[in-house]
Amino acid sequence: MTVLVVEHSRVQQLIIKAMLREYKLDSLVVDSYEKALSEIRSREYHAILCASRLPDGKGIELAKQANVSQGKELLFVLLTTEDTREFLNEAIANGVSRVISRKDAYALQNIIKELVDSDDDAMAAIGHVLLIEDNRTMVQLITAMMKVSGSTCDSCADGNEAIAWMERESFDLVITDYYLEGDLTGLDVVRKIRSMPDEKQQIPILVMSGESSVEKRVEVLVAGANDYLIKPIVEQELRARAGNLIKQKKLLDRVIRQQNRLKELAMTDQLTGLYNRHFLTQMVPGKLAEAHRHGFDLSLMVIDIDHFKAINDNHGHEVGDRVLKAVAELLQTNCREEDMAIRLGGEEFLFILPYCSPAAAKEKAEDFRQKLEALMPCKLKVTASFGVTSLEKGQKKPFLELFNAADQAVYEAKNSGRNKVIYHSLS
């Protein structure tokens, strides 16, 4: 789905683009009436978000031209500061779908969400289908039926080939005949798919057969198939059943994405984007157990920004927040893939460093200390005190003992002048 944004204000452009990007919508931004007119005459757009006043024309006139050029039902949203009844009537009469205030970001976000939801509904029954069928005529017939529905369809005649294909690619639906070439039946394919790892095992399966016995249908459904279709195939029935199964699969995918997003939000500090205390309690014990099990070094670094209360008191909490974000960004840019940066709260951070020896951890802390001292966020000199400790190969210690050692090292750094690295050995 592509959205055309017609807006001359640079600030408004950035706000709208950020909203569209949040909902993973493609967009093109132009800043004049003539550029917009050229675009709507040369390609198709699903929606247009347009300022009512442009340097070289009016948004209402562009709406009239857009509805003629696009040749389909178009969502045209006009952003304006005018709210008179006469203006609204003129806008609607010329093809404007919605009129909202330029200052109402909440209303604009709701419109974008409605646009995404409507597109999701339209696309819900369209997917990528794997057809397992050894009759070439039937393959051509079913492939054509899926194409009419908007779905793409790959086919093979052998169950083993189908399983190998599924391991490489993602599908929204499997349609399989009961009797196949090779040593696997459709029933075997169902069982193998249901024993696959992760989300692969959840893919919907429609089994086709010329046998109409209740026993055969029950056998297939008990094995894990979602539906059973008796040959000869009726096009409308196949498309309806396939569409319903694809919709169910996409709905499940959406729920899983939402759950994962909620988990991510629950474990992420909203100000800095780093992991939070919840992540610490949920995930770090597992990393420590892994270090115990495989015998690798794991280091901890506690970082406490020096005199942070004075920054808030003298410059305000907004500046304090910007300082915290800058420190977090510096942490993230110095992370290896396996490292974990956590905001413990306030001005205190924790760095978990798997596969990091005591010498490497001290070197990393000193490097970070120097980079922070040179950073000058908000044109302020910001420093921090660092406490470092390490779980060395062969040692088995609980996480609390590691954290306490690093935390005590931070207090020692604070009490001995700040802006320094102190290392405490567990031994």
Claim to verify: residue 246 and residue 347 sit in the same structural domain: no
Rounded to an integer, what distance in angstroms lies between the CA atom of residue 98 and that of residue 49?
10
Domain assignment of residue 174, yes or no = yes
CATH of the domain at 343: 3.30.70.270
Judge whether residue 309 has pLDDT over 80.
yes
Average pLDDT over residues 269-296: 87
Residue 266: the pLDDT is 78
Which residues on adjacent β-strands are paired with residue 271?
A: none
**Tens digits of per-residue pLDDT, 13-27?**
888 988 888 888 888
Residue 83 is part of which domain span? 2-123
Same domain (yes/no): 163, 213: yes
Laid out side by side, the sheet with 205-209 consists of: 152-156, 128-132, 173-177, 205-209, 227-230
Residues 161 and 212 in one domain: yes
Please, which pLDDT band fits residue 255 given cuts at 50, 70 and 90? confident
Residue 356 in this model has a pLDDT that exceeds 90 = yes
Q: Is 211 a catalytic residue?
A: no
One domain, residues 107 and 189:
no
- Beta bridge partners, 54, equal 57
**What are the residues whose beta carbons fall under 8 Å from the beta carbon of 426, sequence distance 6 or more?**
389, 390, 391, 392, 395, 397, 401, 402, 405
78: nearest Cα among 40, 115, 51? 51
Is 266 inside any structural domain? Answer: no
- Whether 268 is covered by a domain: the verdict is no
Q: Is residue 167 part of a domain?
A: yes
What pLDDT is recorded for position 101?
Answer: 87
Residues 232, 209 share a domain:
yes
Pairing of strands 47-51, 75-80: parallel
Say yes or no to pLDDT of 73 above 70.
no
Same domain, 118 and 133: no
**At residue 379, does pLDDT exceed 90?**
yes
Average pLDDT of the residues in 28-32: 94
Q: Is the pLDDT of residue 118 over 70?
A: no
Residue with tokens 């690295």: 421
Q: What is the pLDDT of residue 325?
A: 93
The CATH number of residue 174's host domain is 3.40.50.2300
Domain check: are 319 and 230 in the same one? no
- Is 360 part of any domain? yes
Question: Which range among 72-76, 335-339, 349-353 shows the weakest confidence by mean pLDDT?
Answer: 72-76
Are 59 and 8 in a shared domain? yes
Q: Which pair of structure tokens corresponds to residue 346?
A: 């306030």
Residues 332, 247: Cα–Cα separation, whole Å? 39
pLDDT(237) > 70: yes
Of 108, 123, 138, the residue at which a domain comes to its end is: 123
Last residue of a domain, one of 123, 145, 179: 123
Which of 92, 123, 154 is a domain's end point?
123
In a domain, 269, yes or no: no
Percent with pLDDT over 90 in the chain: 58
List 347, 348, 373, 392, catalytic entry: 347
Distance from C-alpha of 49 to C-alpha of 59, rounded to nearest angstrom: 9
Q: Please indicate, yes or no, whether residues 205 and 116 belong to a single structural domain of this protein.
A: no
Domain contains 259: no
Look at 122-131, 200-209, 351-360 and tell me which has the smallest mean pLDDT.
122-131
Closest CA to 302 of 228, 388, 378: 388
350 pLDDT above the threshold of 60: yes
pLDDT digits (tens, 9 = 90+) for 140-154: 999 999 998 889 999
Residue 188 has pLDDT above 80, yes or no: yes
- Please give the model's pTM, rounded to 2 decimal places: 0.52
Do 6 and 54 share a structural domain? yes
Question: How large is the average pLDDT for residues 91-104?
Answer: 86
Per-residue confidence band for 72, with pLDDT thresholds at 50, 70 and 90: low
94 and 174, same structural domain? no
Mean pLDDT over all residues of the chain? 90
The answer to whether residue 123 scores a pLDDT higher than 70 is: no
Residue 271 lies in a domain: no
Average pLDDT of the residues in 154-168: 93
Give the total number of structural domains in the chain.
3
Is the same domain home to 119 and 135? no
Bridge partners of 155? 131
